Structure 1
Amino acid sequence: MADEWKQKCDSEWSLGAQGVPMPDSVDWKLVYEKKPFERNLLHNPSPYGVNHTIPPPELHVTGERPPANQPPKFEPDGNFSGWKTSTEVLPYDTSGIPPGVVVCHMPQYRWFSLEQRVDLNAEGLWGQLLDEFQPEIVIEDWYEESQLHKSIYLLDVKLLGADGKTVIKEHICSPEENLECYSHTWKKVSHAFSNYGPGVRYIHFLHRLKNKFMIEFFNTKFTDSSITVKAAKM
């Protein structure tokens, strides 16, 4: 029966033809059921309920304060199950205000962070595959060009060892936005890990998005985040 599951996996992804190690010690039934190749290993990749094929909604500024009996809004709306979230309040930027000038309202910025850890063994990938064949691990993300600030997005993805702490490879992306030209679209961020060396067992995926509060709350969204493992090397 074990050979039958192994043959199914080989037929499904042509592993043997690609030179992928296929030891008998692997639980091939689990591999076949998990279907780890070309499948998004992230859970809940679009918690805001939007996708990058449709333009992000335009900001709607009303200038209205929240009702006196309601606290101001500082957190975005969405279903963030599967993500660990945190918020970092940033200090006010007063560098451009001349001495003696009274400012009634200033924007307050916050980083909203979301992170996930993917257990590659639990997702059906085995040690020899990761250590010897080292398949491509491709990450992709789409963030909203909200133009709330010149820096609104940061992506940090780490390939971790068996202890869940040792960083084997890391990719960081922190673009700056052009605020002189209005553009409100989805921006794609992607990276492919290859030849990363032996020992990878976990992937830590983190992105930070900047939100702004000034009388009203405005946020930067993301969508269609993904981690995929390729069965064949490019």
Structure 2
Amino acid sequence: MARNLLKNPNGEENMEYWELTENGGDEWRVEEMPGDCGHAFTDDATTKYFTTSFELCLKKQLIDLLAEGYSSEELDNQPAVHVEDWYCGRTDCGCVYQLTVCLLDENKEVIQEFTPESVTLDPDTDDCSWKQITHTFSEYGPGVRFISFEHGGQDTKYWQGWFGVRVTGSSVTIDL
């Protein structure tokens, strides 16, 4: 099985390894599963998640593929790059989720980007339970040396506190 290149994907180490690119409202925090007005996760081994506030909260990791042990030759063969993320809302407040993953060259210029439409979860029309998003990059050309993974969101009611989207189980893997 390919190893997850994201460090601290579930908040077990608080915010360690994550760069907070937007930290609005009451800022990011880590909570225990399932949390207030929350949902159980699909995997009992995942016990924590990151949660956002009433203003936009985004966090990012930049993966240096050469530092992770991949050779230029391996990367130039364009191995499949798999991305996975899990997100959910609360049962009492709507939220917005967003994700952007970029394959970058040695100068950190974008080779290929995955930015799905933002997702709005509304407890009046959706159960807001944990949902998975996946994407596989392929045939992107040679030159990939870094991967940028950024996700987050906020709540839709502008309630003070941590009523925004919850994220956990993030992963980036490479098939050699």
Amino acid at match of 2:136: A
Structure 1: give runs of 5+ residues left out of the alignment. 1-36, 50-77, 90-107
Check the 8 A contact 1:145/1:187 in 2, yes or no. no
Closer, same or farther: CA 217–123 of 1 in aligned 2, 3 Å: closer
Residue 190, structure 1, aligned to residue 134, structure 2: yes
Q: Distance in 2 between matches of 1:154 and 1:217?
A: 17
Deviations along 1:125-165, one digit per CA (max 9) or x if unpaired, are: 1111111x21100000001133633x61110001001012x
Normalized per residue, the structure richer in strand is: 2
Amino acid at match of 1:80: M
- Aligned partner of 2:71 among 118, 126, 137: 126
Task: Provide runs of 4+ in structure 1 moved above 4 Å.
Answer: none
Residue 80, structure 1, aligned to residue 15, structure 2: yes
Percent identity for Structure 1 against Structure 2: 34
Once the two structures are superposed, the pairs formed by residues 79-228 of structure 1 within 5 Å of their partners are 79-85=14-20, 86-88=22-24, 109-131=54-76, 133-146=77-90, 148-149=93-94, 152-164=96-108, 166-177=109-120, 179=122, 180-211=124-155, 213-214=158-159, 216-228=161-173
Match of 2:9 in 1: 45
What is the Cα-based RMSD across aligned positions, in Å?
2.2
- Which secondary structure state, in structure 2, belongs to the residue aligned with residue 170 of structure 1? strand
Cα distance, 1:217 vs. partner? 4.1
Q: Distance in 2 between matches of 1:154 and 1:216?
A: 19
Check the 8 A contact 2:100/2:150 in 1, yes or no. yes
Q: What TM-score, normalized by structure 2, do the two folds share?
A: 0.74
- Which secondary structure state, in structure 1, belongs to the residue aligned with residue 120 of structure 2? coil
Instruction: State the aligned residue count.
Output: 145
Amino acid at match of 2:18: W
Structure possessing the higher relative contact order (Cα contacts under 8 Å, 6 or more residues apart): 2
Cα distance, 1:177 vs. partner? 3.2
Q: What TM-score, normalized by structure 1, do the two folds share?
A: 0.56
Check the 8 A contact 2:106/2:143 in 1, yes or no. yes
Cα distance, 1:82 vs. partner? 0.5
